[in-house]
Amino acid sequence: MGLLVAFTFSGAASRFDTRRQLIVQEVNAIGTAYLRLKLLPPQAQAELRSDFRKYVEARTAIYRKLPDVEAAKLELARSKVLQDAIWEKAVAVSKAAEGQQAALLLLPALNQMIDITTTRTVALQTHAPAMVLWLLCGVAFAGALLAGHAIAGVKAHSWVDVLLFAAVLAATIYVIVDLEYPHAGLIRIEAVERLMADLLDSMK
């Protein structure tokens, strides 16, 4: 049982850490692309800056509205529309003579900003197979059954030990599941996601 718990916990913790790192990468990618708007002709900057602010608002709202999946999907669709609009406007500006030099730096930054959204979405949807979680619960139940059988014949057993054993099993399974769904339980990555809100504030 110990090996299964350790393996499952390690996988959940690794996926949690990956999601946290992807948030930082996305904030950095958006921030870099936004800064490079300064390379564009002044008349082309205002509209793109406005679109960027709306885009960051949508990206922030996606994860803030979880675990309401339908609401999150609506925000994801809105961010995709804004993403396409930003790209098309940047490409249009780059075709003009005065925007060609800026495009050499801006377009790759926009491409990275767009790519990270797909990576982050996939990471959010990646969880341990349901069979692993069911197996973990089954092993925990079997362990509890064997422990109960072992102490059944003991006249003077400690209720503290019994309750402690049950609490440790329940807490272990809860933490593993909570790590898998960081937007639904007690374990959150809000401190890191605050970076996106700070980025939005810096755009105003």
- The whole-number pLDDT of residue 172 equals 78
Whole-angstrom Cα distance, residue 85 to residue 110?
12
- The whole-number pLDDT of residue 129 equals 72
Whole-angstrom Cα distance, residue 199 to residue 34?
10
| pLDDT profile of the chain (204 residues), mean per 10 | 62 75 91 92 89 93 83 91 94 76 86 91 75 77 75 70 77 77 69 80 84
**CB half-sphere exposure, 162, CA atoms < 13 A:** 12
- The whole-number pLDDT of residue 124 equals 75
Whole-angstrom Cα distance, residue 60 to residue 46?
21
Ranges of each domain in the chain? 17-126+188-202
- The whole-number pLDDT of residue 115 equals 93
- The whole-number pLDDT of residue 109 equals 93
